[in-house]
Structure 1
Amino acid sequence: MKNIFQPAVTSEIIERINHLTPTTPQLWGKMNVAQMLAHCNVTYEMVYDDIHPKPGPFMKFILKLLVKGLVVSEKPYPKNNHTAPQFIIKDEKQFEKEKARLIDYLNKTQALGEAHFDGKESHSFGRLTKTEWNNMFYKHLNHHLSQFGA
């Protein structure tokens, strides 16, 4: 899996984002392109903004047991997979605003680097290695950019 912490990979992802337009159609799924960008921003909101409620101890245990392996492994996500409630974006979003937020989050993540994330506590899964953080970040972005042909 590509390493999102490498500048060239971050640049590649940003280039793919910049190929999107407000009217880029999805190849599968229900979200439009602005909603997809907002959906991808949720991952980074959980890391940087603390605006989503953290799961309680029991739910965190269940997430670590049943979901963590799917999210942090190198195995790609299947199309039309179920997602956590906080990631479901139903309202309309502003394409340019969500795009700029995502690019800002990517640049911030790349600037902090993998050492910053190695052993960092995840919102839902406990401490993750730098590889697990990378897999979670890159795999999610790659999945949704592919969803829109980018």
Structure 2
Amino acid sequence: MDLPNIFAKEVTEGVIERINKLTPNSQPLWGKMNVAQMLAHCNVTYEMVYTDQHPKPGFLMGFILKNFVKRLVVSAKPYPKNNKTAPAFLITEEKAFEVEKQRLIDYILETEVLGSYIFDGKMSHSFGPLSANEWNNMFYKHLDHHLKQFGV
């Protein structure tokens, strides 16, 4: 794995420990989202895996995502601060901190329990089939980026 293995219990526990350091009053070091919105934003990645609530991209957007965006998302290279995000990930309405926090923890735990072998070759909502390493990089990098955004 290029980044810490989000499918490993000790890595999952470390990420959850960082999430548990957040409070409803945690302030971002950059960006516009408050902490509850950030947690909801992180949940979108998992909603695209575990639910059907987000429409799949059309042909043209799918082509753009697979050929231009995918490598940025699934690589080990960190995201820049204040990077533009996809419309499905824009969270502008107020969210309930405890609800979003628990949803995120539940998704992270479910992903760890399923394990990397379930994700190896699994179709991504936006990028087509991904390797276990690409799923790992996408999950871990996104969480790490936003937890650093809030200083944890």
TM-score, normalisation: structure 1? 0.99
User: What residue in structure 2 maps to residue 147 of structure 1?
Assistant: 149
User: What residue in structure 2 maps to residue 117 of structure 1?
Assistant: 119
Counterpart Cα distance in 1 of 2:8 and 2:119: 13
- The residue identity in structure 1 corresponding to 2:137 is N
Is there any run of 5+ residues in structure 1 with no aligned partner, and where? none
Match of 2:25 among 23, 26, 41: 23
1:59 equivalenced with 2:61 (yes/no): yes
Deviations 1:50-100 (A, max 9, x none): 100001122111101110000000000000000000000000000000000
User: What residue in structure 1 maps to residue 105 of structure 2?
Assistant: 103
Counterpart Cα distance in 2 of 1:123 and 1:82: 19
Counterpart Cα distance in 2 of 1:100 and 1:12: 15
Is there any run of 5+ residues in structure 2 with no aligned partner, and where? none
Counterpart Cα distance in 2 of 1:99 and 1:59: 30
User: What residue in structure 2 maps to residue 33 of structure 1?
Assistant: 35
Q: Tell me how far 1:144 sits from its aligned partner.
A: 0.0
TM-score, normalisation: structure 2? 0.98
How many percent of aligned residue pairs carry the same amino acid?
A: 69
Give RMSD over aligned pairs: 0.4
Counterpart Cα distance in 1 of 2:23 and 2:60: 41
User: What residue in structure 1 maps to residue 8 of structure 2?
Assistant: 6
- The residue identity in structure 2 corresponding to 1:32 is N
Q: Size of the alignment, in residue pairs? A: 150
Residue 67 of structure 1: SS of its match in structure 2? helix
User: What residue in structure 1 maps to residue 137 of structure 2?
Assistant: 135
